[in-house]
Structure formats: C-alpha cells, structure tokens
Structure 1
Amino acid sequence: MADLRVLLIGATGVFGSRLAERAVLEPGIALTLAARDRAKLDALAARLGGLAVRVLDRERVTGADLAGFDVVVDAAGPFQASAPTVIVAAIAARVHYVDLADGRAFVAAIGDHDAAAKAAGISVTCGASSIPALSHAVIDALTGGWTGIDNIRIGIFPGNRAPRGLAVVQAILSYVGHPVRVWRGGAWTDVPGWGMTQRWAVPGVGRRWASVCDTPEQDLLVARYAPQGSAEFFAGMELSLLHLGLALLALPVRWGWVRSLRPAARPLLAMAKLLLPFGSDIGAMDVIVTGQDAGGAPAHARWTLRADGNRGPYVPVLAALAMLRRFQGGRPPAPGARVCAGMLTLAESAADFAALGIATYGAERDRARLMHQL
C-alpha cells in the first residue's frame, strides 16, 4: 500500500508538534510539516529526522496548496471566530480533512460543508481531539447498555508547567466573561464564561480549580446522549493566582466595561510563563456520568486520565492520530462532513496512552447503586 501523504498545518504549535512526533513513528505515513515560520519548521523537521516542510498561512490556504496530498490536518487554531478556509481548500483539492477544532460555532457549522464534501468524494472530520472524540469514546465505554443518562461532567486540568501556546490562550479569552449556554436542570441556561468556579477532586491527582468553558461539548453531549439533568464541561488552571485572577479579569467583561479579553492574550501569556516553575507537570482529565443501567437501577461511572511529566499536551492529538491510522489502513470515513463524536473507540488510543506513560483508570462501569448525586 502506498504511503499516506499527510500535510500537517500548525505543525510547530504546542499540539501540532506533538502530533508530528507521534505521526512520524507510524509506518506508511509520509508527513509534510506546514506553518508560517520557516525557521521553526526547519528546526522541527530536523529534530524529527528531516521531514518535508511547507510555509503556509492557514487563513490563506487554497486548493492548490493542498494538491498532491491525501489528508490535511489542521492543528493550528484558534478555531473560535475562525473561517473554514482550510475546509474549503480541502474540498476544492479533493483532499480528506481532519482538525482539532474546539470552537463552538466552528464545530456547529461543520454540517454546512456536508453536501460539498460528498460531491468531492472526501471526508471532513471536525473535532478529532480530547473533545469530543476522546470524551465521547470514554462515555460510550462507560455507559454501554445503559437505559438512560442523567448527568455528564467533564473536566480537563493541565499542570501549570505544561507548555502553553498563544492560540490556546486566545481561545480561552474569547469567551471569558461572556454568556455561555449550558444544559443544567434539564434545560438550557446562560452562565458567565469562566464562572461557576469550584474545587474539583480528581482521583489520583488532588483538588484542582474548575470553571465553565464555552466548547462544542455542551451541544454535542445533549444531542448525542440526551441527559435528563445536566451536561457540563469545565477546565482549570492549577495555580490559584492564575485561575482566580482570570475569574476576576472576567468581571469587566461581564459588566460590559470591556468587550473581550482576547486582545490581552500576549501579555497574559507572558505573565503565565513567568510562573511556569511553580505548580506541577501533572495534567488530568475526568469524566463522570450518572444514569440508569441495563436493569434500570441507578448507576455511576467515572474515568480519569493522569498525565505526568508534561505529557498532557499529547492527549488532544491522539484522536487525530487514530484517524490517520484509519486512512492509512484504507478505512477512511464515508464522504461528507461530520463531527468526530462516536467515530472512534477508547481502545484505539490505549496503546498510545501506554507508550506515552499516561495512566487511565476507572473505565469499568460501576453497576452498584448510586450512593450520591453529582
């Protein structure tokens, strides 16, 4: 079988570079690295054994830029308020498309490209990342056979020493202080972005700060699992100074004094980097589900991931890696545009977790009667 020709956009970023590190180890994948900065591209290519590089700006990509490739992966971002330029180019070039998108509006609009993708005979897969690809794979594993779901809570907690990029900071600041639509009490309601601040006890990790985020998850969890009570997604910074400081900075946005904190992304990132020596290098993801088991009895299930040694940033790229394996194995998704929810199984990332030394536990479903509510 011929090598799968893959163009990775955003290859020099926090997530793109880690996807490149893992993809280059895969047999049958011919990887080309793409980004805007040639010096960074050359350095990464040399570190990974001399890969091909392409200088590209994702906001100006055309079909001609993608000609000759089988798959293009967009790992650049931020996807909040991002135009679907790469998707349009991929359809024009008849090249399969995969991204790590976490922008709520961007993901929600993926269906707009379905007809064009089908006509071009290619697949457009959106959100091949921690959410919704991994989170839904976890929930599927936890709740197989259940007759109903009541509540879903998902939390992602990077260690303070984990590398952070500008795109991630811009994505967070885009919704801080703005109304975020969440499913609570069996109905949609608005809460302040980075609000609902609380302490979250993560098994095997400890207590971390958590605040509500604006992600595609809220919509996708409700659409796919129909929880009767709630579907909530939280994230947190390990250091109180950073997490609570951002909650305070959200107040002027909530009061209408400031339109957005996104323009402050660079100085806030610089301040956060000054605090990198503090905290830990332990990242975590926690998924909690309650509902009714196959017999109709109350059920509770929980899955936790712990990534030591700053390996947390590898987690968001493993779903995209699993998708590339499917393409390389001759098992691409059917033509059309869709969200990567329910497309992958938890087992498809098990070997990657093991290879990276990332611990996961609690995947076994708890059939005992529920002793407490979320």
Structure 2
Amino acid sequence: MVELRVLLIGATGVFGSRLAERAAREDGIALTLAARDRAKLDALAARLGGLPVRTLDRANIAAADLAGFDVVVDAAGPFQASAPTVIEAAIASRVSYIDLADGRDFVAGIAAHDAAARAAGISITCGASSIPALSHAVLDDLTAGWSRIDRIAMGIFPGNRAPRGLAVVQAILSYVGHPVRVWRGGRWTAVPGWGMTQRWAVPGVGKRWASVCDTPEQDLLVARYRPADSAEFFAGMELSILHLGLALLALPVRWGLPRSLRPAARPLLAIARLLLPFGSDVGAMDICVGGQDAGGKATTARWTLRADGNRGPYVPTLAALAMLRRFRDGQAPEPGARACAGMLSLAEFAADFAALGITTGHDGGK
C-alpha cells in the first residue's frame, strides 16, 4: 500500500494533538507533526512512537514547506481574522488541504480559492470539524425525507475540566460583545456576541449556560437547509462564574470600550485554568430541528452527544480524520474549494464515537 503523506500543522494544540493521536493509529497514513514549539513537538512525537516533526509557523508557511506531502491539515487556529497563507501554499505546491476552521469570514471566503484549486487539481476542504461537518451529517440524518425545515438550534457545551488552549479562547473573545448576524424570525438580524444568554437543558447531561456565538454555521445552515424561521448556534461554559462573567465583560465592548477582549486572552485563560478542578469532565453537543415530514405534518427531531472523561476535545477532530481516510482509500473530493458541509455521513463518525466511549442518541423525526 502506498501511504498517504500528511502534514499536520498545529499538532501540539488541544485539537491537533488529539487528531495526531488518532491519525497515528491509522494504517496507510504517514503522519508528520508540525508546530512552532520544537520541545512540545518532540515530546508529542515520542509519545506517539517517534513520528517525524517539522518546526513551522502557519503564518509564514511557503509552498516549499509542503513539498513531498499529499495532504496538509491545519489544526492550529485561531482562524478569526486569519490570512489564507496555508491555503495559498497548498495551491502553489499542489497539495490538498483540510482545516478545522471555525472563523465565519474565513469559511465564507473559501469559494474565492475554488478556481485556483481546480487549476491545481487539488481539493480545499474548510471546516472539517464539529461544525459544519458533523452538525450537517446529523441534520441530514435527522431530516431525511422532510418536506420543510423551519427551525434549527444547536449548542456545544464543554465540561469545565476539559483542556482549553489559547487559540480557542482568542476565537471566542474575537466576537464577544460585537454584533453577530443570525437568522431569526425568517430574516437576518444582529444580536450581541455572547448574548441571548439562557439555560439549556441537555438530555442526559442537565442544564448548561448557553450564549450565541459567531460561527460559519449560521450562514451554512441557512444556505443548505433554508429554514423558514430560525437557525441559531450557541455555546456555553459549565461554570456560572465563567459564563456569566464573560457576558458581563461583553458589555463594555458593546459600548465601544474596549474594542475587543481578544488582547485579554492570556489572563482570562489563566483564570479559567485556576478553576479547572471545579465542574465536570462531561461535554455535550445538542442539535434540535423542527419542520414538516414528507406528508406535511409538523415534526421535530433531536440528537445529543455526550462525551465523558474529557473526551469532548476529540469530537472536533473526527471529521478531519474521516476526510484523511477518504484520501487514503482513494475517495478524495473532486478538485475545488468548499466548506465541509454535507460531505460526510453520520455513519462515518460511528466507529470513532464507539472507540472513544462517546455516546449519542436522538428523539423524533424522520
């Protein structure tokens, strides 16, 4: 078997290290780890059996850095306000590209690379993560045969003890307090980032705090499913002091002082880490949808994921892993640039959920 040569950027991060761990176990995938910190790279490589490493900064990567690889995976982030440097290097080197992007503008702009990707004969796959890859696989399964979709609401709720990285905190703080464009009441409207704060009852988990987030999901849900009424995405922190504290910090941003909380990412992350012993290690993802079945009858459906033992951070990596398997098995996407929405089936996640002890369930629908 000819092995698929994969370069994983951001390999030492919260998500990158978990993707590396899973991909390193796959037959037919030759993985090289890349990040900025050589000491962390060497430690991870040793833990995974002596994988090759490259010291790279995604902000300064060039086509020559990708020479000899079949696929490059960008798991570094943050993607908010990020330049498409890795994408441009991938096109120039004719190496296919996958990322875990959650930046709304970054994902929305992926089509701008379509013509160049086609000319280079490679695929650019953006957002191979919990959203939109897994979320759309779930919705496709729940609403198969429906005649109409009216409402979509989804939330992601990590346990407080789950590891958190600087890139994730920077991503959240980039939109806190700023206007977020959401589809409500059948039209686009603006609400404050980390606003609409509420208690969300997650089946089998309990109540968690939830606030609206700025993600590519809002745009992609409306584009793919055309809900008549609403498409909303929320996230929440388990501890009230963290979740509501961030909601309070959003108020000065809404008033214009300061312009952004992102410069405070490091001290806020330090505070969050001090509180790691509290709360639980249970993470969840909850997707609710309402509409009409094939016969025009009103119907609803719900799918819930529960990840115990701090296994939640594996979930955002599983779509990228599924995409690597497709490349390895000769089922690579057609050349072009696209968001990873509707590209994977829910069945492609099942074996990994089982291996990780992650449980899922759904009610109603179909």
**Given the two structures, how large is their TM-score scaled by the length of structure 2?**
1.00
Report the Cα distance in structure 2 between the residues aligned to 1:98 and 1:342, rounded to whole angstroms.
Answer: 15
Report the Cα distance in structure 1 between the residues aligned to 2:132 and 2:31, rounded to whole angstroms.
Answer: 25
How is 1:43-54 mapped onto 2 (pairs within 5 angstroms)? 43-54=43-54
Report the Cα distance in structure 2 between the residues aligned to 1:61 and 1:234, rounded to whole angstroms.
Answer: 33
Alpha-carbon RMSD: 0.6
CA offset digits 1:295-342 (Å, max 9, x no partner): 110010000000000000000000000000000000100000000000
- Is 1:143 matched with 2:139? no
Report the Cα distance in structure 2 between the residues aligned to 1:47 and 1:141, rounded to whole angstroms.
Answer: 37
Q: Which runs of 5+ in 2 are unaligned?
A: none
How is 1:76-225 mapped onto 2 (pairs within 5 angstroms)? 76-225=76-225
Report the Cα distance in structure 1 between the residues aligned to 2:52 and 2:164, rounded to whole angstroms.
Answer: 25
| Equivalent residue number for residue 260 of structure 1 | 260
Report the Cα distance in structure 1 between the residues aligned to 2:257 and 2:337, rounded to whole angstroms.
Answer: 39
Report the Cα distance in structure 2 between the residues aligned to 1:49 and 1:99, rounded to whole angstroms.
Answer: 24
**Are the counterparts in 2 of residues 96 and 123 from structure 1 also a CA contact under 8 Å?**
yes
CA offset digits 1:280-307 (Å, max 9, x no partner): 0000000000000011100100000000
Report the Cα distance in structure 2 between the residues aligned to 1:361 and 1:194, rounded to whole angstroms.
Answer: 28
> Could you tell me which amino acid in structure 2 is paired with residue 366 of structure 1?
G
> Could you tell me which amino acid in structure 1 is paired with residue 7 of structure 2?
L
Report the Cα distance in structure 1 between the residues aligned to 2:206 and 2:286, rounded to whole angstroms.
Answer: 12
> Could you tell me which amino acid in structure 2 is paired with residue 162 of structure 1?
A
Report the Cα distance in structure 2 between the residues aligned to 1:211 and 1:190, rounded to whole angstroms.
Answer: 14
Report the Cα distance in structure 1 between the residues aligned to 2:19 and 2:360, rounded to whole angstroms.
Answer: 20
**Are the counterparts in 2 of residues 143 and 365 from structure 1 also a CA contact under 8 Å?**
no
Report the Cα distance in structure 2 between the residues aligned to 1:222 and 1:366, rounded to whole angstroms.
Answer: 20
How is 1:343-354 mapped onto 2 (pairs within 5 angstroms)? 343-354=343-354
The 3-state SS of whatever aligns with 1:64 is: helix
- Is 1:338 matched with 2:314? no
How is 1:235-274 mapped onto 2 (pairs within 5 angstroms)? 235-274=235-274
> Could you tell me which amino acid in structure 1 is paired with residue 122 of structure 2?
I
Report the Cα distance in structure 2 between the residues aligned to 1:16 and 1:248, rounded to whole angstroms.
Answer: 31
| Equivalent residue number for residue 372 of structure 1 | none
CA offset digits 1:79-121 (Å, max 9, x no partner): 0000000000000000000000000000000000000000000
The 3-state SS of whatever aligns with 1:273 is: helix
| Equivalent residue number for residue 280 of structure 1 | 280
> Could you tell me which amino acid in structure 2 is paired with residue 208 of structure 1?
R
How is 1:297-316 mapped onto 2 (pairs within 5 angstroms)? 297-316=297-316
Question: Residue 264 of structure 1: CA displacement?
Answer: 0.1
Question: Residue 257 of structure 1: CA displacement?
Answer: 1.5
Report the Cα distance in structure 2 between the residues aligned to 1:78 and 1:56, rounded to whole angstroms.
Answer: 16
| Equivalent residue number for residue 366 of structure 1 | 365
Report the Cα distance in structure 2 between the residues aligned to 1:327 and 1:42, rounded to whole angstroms.
Answer: 27
Runs of 4+ in 1 over 6 A off after TM superposition: none
Question: Residue 228 of structure 1: CA displacement?
Answer: 0.3
**Are the counterparts in 1 of residues 15 and 316 from structure 2 also a CA contact under 8 Å?**
yes
| Equivalent residue number for residue 73 of structure 2 | 73
The 3-state SS of whatever aligns with 1:305 is: strand
Report the Cα distance in structure 2 between the residues aligned to 1:360 and 1:225, rounded to whole angstroms.
Answer: 22
Alignment coverage as a number of residue pairs: 366
> Could you tell me which amino acid in structure 2 is paired with residue 40 of structure 1?
K
Residue identity over aligned pairs, in percent, reads: 82
| Equivalent residue number for residue 9 of structure 1 | 9
Report the Cα distance in structure 2 between the residues aligned to 1:258 and 1:180, rounded to whole angstroms.
Answer: 17
Report the Cα distance in structure 1 between the residues aligned to 2:156 and 2:171, rounded to whole angstroms.
Answer: 15
The 3-state SS of whatever aligns with 1:83 is: coil
| Equivalent residue number for residue 231 of structure 1 | 231
> Could you tell me which amino acid in structure 2 is paired with residue 185 of structure 1?
G
> Could you tell me which amino acid in structure 2 is paired with residue 288 of structure 1?
C
> Could you tell me which amino acid in structure 1 is paired with residue 2 of structure 2?
A
Report the Cα distance in structure 1 between the residues aligned to 2:47 and 2:122, rounded to whole angstroms.
Answer: 32
> Could you tell me which amino acid in structure 1 is paired with residue 126 of structure 2?
C
Report the Cα distance in structure 1 between the residues aligned to 2:190 and 2:300, rounded to whole angstroms.
Answer: 27
| Equivalent residue number for residue 22 of structure 1 | 22
Report the Cα distance in structure 2 between the residues aligned to 1:257 and 1:333, rounded to whole angstroms.
Answer: 45
Report the Cα distance in structure 1 between the residues aligned to 2:45 and 2:31, rounded to whole angstroms.
Answer: 10
The 3-state SS of whatever aligns with 1:277 is: coil
Question: Residue 366 of structure 1: CA displacement?
Answer: 2.9
> Could you tell me which amino acid in structure 1 is paired with residue 9 of structure 2?
I
**Are the counterparts in 2 of residues 182 and 190 from structure 1 also a CA contact under 8 Å?**
yes
> Could you tell me which amino acid in structure 1 is paired with residue 203 of structure 2?
P
CA offset digits 1:140-169 (Å, max 9, x no partner): 000000000000001000000000000000
Report the Cα distance in structure 2 between the residues aligned to 1:28 and 1:357, rounded to whole angstroms.
Answer: 24
**Are the counterparts in 1 of residues 143 and 365 from structure 2 also a CA contact under 8 Å?**
no
Report the Cα distance in structure 2 between the residues aligned to 1:222 and 1:252, rounded to whole angstroms.
Answer: 31
The 3-state SS of whatever aligns with 2:72 is: strand
How is 1:319-334 mapped onto 2 (pairs within 5 angstroms)? 319-334=319-334
The 3-state SS of whatever aligns with 1:154 is: strand
CA offset digits 1:254-277 (Å, max 9, x no partner): 011210000000000000000000
Report the Cα distance in structure 2 between the residues aligned to 1:195 and 1:33, rounded to whole angstroms.
Answer: 38
Report the Cα distance in structure 1 between the residues aligned to 2:90 and 2:268, rounded to whole angstroms.
Answer: 34
CA offset digits 1:201-229 (Å, max 9, x no partner): 00000000000000000000000000000
| Equivalent residue number for residue 318 of structure 1 | 318
The 3-state SS of whatever aligns with 2:162 is: coil
